[in-house]
Structure 1
Amino acid sequence: MSGVVDLAAVKAAQEAKTKAEQARAEAARHGGAGAVSPADLVIDVDEAGFERDVLQRSAEVPVVIDFWAEWCQPCKQLSPVLERLAVEYDGRFLLAKIDVDANQMLMQQFGVQGIPAVFAVVAGQALPLFQGAAGEAQIRETLDQLVQVAEQRFGLTGLVVDPDADPGAQPEPALPEGPHDALLEAAVVALDAGDFAGAVQAYRNVLSDDPANSEAKLGLAQAELLQRVQGMDPQAVRKDAAEKPADAEAQIAAADLDLVGGHVEDAFGRLIETVQRTAGDDRDAVRRRLLELFEVVGTDDPRVVGARRALARALF
């Protein structure tokens, strides 16, 4: 639930959001084709089906996990509220119920210390929401934030719900495959396997035929970033950067590590400060790398918007 998946989700956020919105519109035009029943918004999950029912589904909809047990009285108060809200939110999230007595491994994996405990998985990433009793107002506020983050950062607009759909039916894909889907899928597979050179080549193959393909552009920026940091000695890179604050190459390498480690603001701030300290070709190299990192995170991300303003101030 960590590693390459979070960068992969971020870099394709806008494209995923667009595709999801198109899928919802297409399903509506076809009378609910590709839709799920309201009954399918609440599912029971065990260890055997966790990858399929939670991790894989989290690529299309935020999955809220309710850890509960039959003997837990607060769980019996919380669970019906979550189930009702899952239907009310109309496919904006999927509720997965996990019985801790029957699924001790999952309980340990998430670090659950007591129940009820509620987590979410978004694009393969797990995050805690709240533990113990919670009022409905607090639950709604938390769910609203989850749905907003899932849509803005990962492009997840949720499932299409049709009251007339058959419960348990598998929705059919609403959109046909595009001409480059096979190459893009090959690039993602290569990323997941750690074959960054292969991913770079696959994205370049798409761009050679379709130079304006935004998903390939963003994917290439991500793959090149991961390829650059592969084999780096993090301690040596950070030591070099600390000792040479005005050295463009040292700061660029450290910024790459910052971003891969999830420290987005640190990466941006480091390069903006380096722009202020350098001049000529060094300054231009730092500026170009910063723009590449903007592409990795996503140009609509608020952190990118703020960093662009800071870069403009540093340059002019």
Structure 2
Amino acid sequence: MTAGRERREIRRVVVLTNPAAGGGHADKAARRASARLRDLGVEVLNVVGADPDDAVRVAREAVGREVDALVTAGGDGMISLALQALAGTDVPLGVVPAGTGNDHARAYGLPLGDPEAAAEVIAAGTVATVDLGRVTTADGTVRHFGSVLATGFDSLVSDRTNRLTWPRGRMRYNLAILVEFANLRPLPFRITLADGTVIDRDLTLAAVGNTSSYGGGMRICPSADPSDGEFDLTVVHAMRRRRVARFFPTVFKGTHIDHPEVETHRTTALRIESPGITAYADGEFLGPLPVDVEMAPAALRIIVPT
């Protein structure tokens, strides 16, 4: 990442928490980080959203309080909510990673599993200016995202996970993968890039990366840079189940882009269409395709390690 950086004085922050994130670890992480921030002389106001809409409302209120940072204690879903309030403002995002995936934290080198260390990064006040993605869904809703937008096999797994009531936690996601793998089929896609290039063929998935990873470290767009003003698009052609089973482990290393069934593109905007398929970004449901995705350059300030 080559984002421009500046030093800011952090005196007053709002800490936004989702107590259920990370299997209930977020609340504990928020308390530990808040205590360390206070030790470092930072005034802390702790707030909790009753539901996702309320969390966005609380975040927007925090931005309007002239705080030096809005801090999330939780996972990528909580960061996604904060982005809806922070996009295009001068208030920086601070992150105390306490979710299951923590892909934003990985992208910016933030300390995992150590709320006190995360608090020290926030108090130090090194702020990077980075890009966001902006999505317009079929019903006209506009949302920002910071990591990866997923469609295809990945979004089908997320759909399945959301429908399952058993088991709990990560095992529910793993079960959803197995079920969708058994149902694997070619998915007809039409993707139109900003330069007019059209990808019209059967795919396994298409992922739009502002940063490189999703799903807790799967490097689906390994070269994505959140400060270069462009998305990295990874397109995986339709494959037989046996081939897919050998393919997916390579995603954790980012070497899947060397496979002949994978093509990559860079673009500032795109439209994705596929009947019956939904889109997720930062792990959160956006809506059914089609969606229009465009780059929002330098739309976010985020506190990063010095």
TM-score between the two structures when normalised by the length of structure 2: 0.27
More strand as a share of residues: 2
TM-score between the two structures when normalised by the length of structure 1: 0.26
More helix as a share of residues: 1
